[in-house]
Amino acid sequence: MIELPAPFPFFGGKRKVTSLVWSRFGTIRNYVEPFAGSLAVLLERPLPFSGVETVNDADGLICNFWRALKNAPDQVADFADWSVNENDLHARHAWLVERKDSLQARLEGDPDFYDPKIAGWWVWGMACWIGSGFCSGDGPWRIVEVEGIRKLVHLGSAGRGVNRQLVHLGDAGQGVNRKRDNHRQALFDYFQALADRLRHVRVCCGDWSRVMGDTPMLDHGNGFSPAGVFLDPPYSDRAFRQGDLYRIDDEKVAHAVREWAIAHGYNPHYRIALCGYDGEHTMPKSWECIQGASGQGYGAQSKNGYGNANRERIWFSPHCERQRGLFDRLNDEDGDDLPLQERTLVFAAR
C-alpha cells in the first residue's frame, strides 16, 4: 500500500491516530466524515475494504480541492506546480479570497461541480504559507490595499512549495527521490494516486448535518451497516487555539455534534469517534475516552502562547471494537472485566 498523506498541511489533522481509529471501527460497510479537512483518517484506511465512503466540509476551498483532485488530477497538478514566490503567493491569495464565497455556493448546489484552477492555486498556497489563516478572508492581503503585516512564504524544504509534500511513488529511488527535474512528474503521479483512492468517495460541501441522516448512512437494504462516523468538529474552546484555524468557526457546532453522537451512540449500527478537548464534552460512561498530547505546531498554540499538550481527547461509542491489554483491569470480587474509562495515548497534529 502506498502512503498517501494530504498534499497540504492541516492544523488539527488526525493522521497520527488513524491506526487507533481504524482499530476501533474495525470492518465497516460505510464511512462518513462530515468535517473532512485533510482526509487523514480516510486516506489511512486499511486496504482492502468494501462499501460506501462519504466526506463533507463546509469550507468550499477544501471541498473543491478534493472534488477537483478526484476528477481532474492532472489539471490540478498543472496549476499547483509553481515555484515559491512571495508576490505570486499574495496575488493568488487575493484572487482566491475574492472567489471563495461564490465557489461554495456552486459546490453546495451542484455535487458534480469543481474548479481545478482554484484547487491547484489553493493547494500551492497552502504549502507555501507560514502558519494558519490562508484564504480565511481575515488575513493581511486585500485586492485594493494592504492591511497589517504581509505573510511570508514558506522557504523551507529547499523552497519547493507543494513539491515538499511529495511521497515516494516509484521503485529503486524513483518518484520524489529522483533528480530535481522529475519533481513535476512525481507531483502528477502523486495526485493521480490520490485520485485513484478517491474514485468512489462521495465529496459533499455544506453543513455537516446534511450527510448525517440514517438513510444515506445506513441504507439497510443495501447492507451498508455498520457505519463508522469520524467527528472532528471545530473545537469550541477558543481560549486554547488560534482564532483563524477554521473558516467556518461556530462554537455551537461542536455542541450539536456531541448531542448527535450521544443520541446515536446506543445504536449497534453506528461506530462513532468524537474529537475534542478535555472538558469540552461530557460523554456517557459507556463511551471509551482516549487521552492524548497534541503536537506543538502552529495550530497547537493558543493566542496566549500556551500549548495544548495533554488536552486532546477522542471518545469512542460503546459499539466500537475494544482492544484488551494493559489498559484494562479486573474486578477482584466477580472477575468481570471493567474497562478503564480514560486511557492514554500520545498523538500529534499533522
d(CA 72, CA 68): 5
pLDDT tens for each residue of 177-208: 334 457 889 999 999 999 999 999 999 999 99
When pLDDT is averaged across residues 220-244 and rounded to a whole number, the result is 71
Question: Which of the residue ranges 26-35, 218-227, 276-285, 289-298 would you say has the lowest mean pLDDT?
Answer: 289-298
Question: Is 244 or 29 the better-scoring residue by pLDDT?
Answer: 29
pLDDT at residue 156 greater than cutoff 50: no
The alpha carbon of residue 295 and the mean position of all alpha carbons in its chain are separated, in whole angstroms, by 16
Superfamily of 1-58+206-350 according to CATH: Vaccinia Virus protein VP39 (3.40.50.150)
Amino acid at 125: G
**CA nearest neighbour of 54 among 191, 229, 273:** 229
d(CA 240, CA 303): 7
Provide the mean pLDDT of the chain.
Answer: 76
What ranges do the domains of the chain cover?
1-58+206-350, 59-199
d(CA 133, CA 10): 11
Residue 272: count of CB within 10 angstroms of its CB: 25
Question: Is 340 or 230 the better-scoring residue by pLDDT?
Answer: 230
Amino acid at 167: V
Question: Is 32 or 87 the better-scoring residue by pLDDT?
Answer: 32
pLDDT tens for each residue of 114-140: 999 999 999 999 888 876 678 865 544
Residues 258, 287: contact at Cβ < 8 Å? no
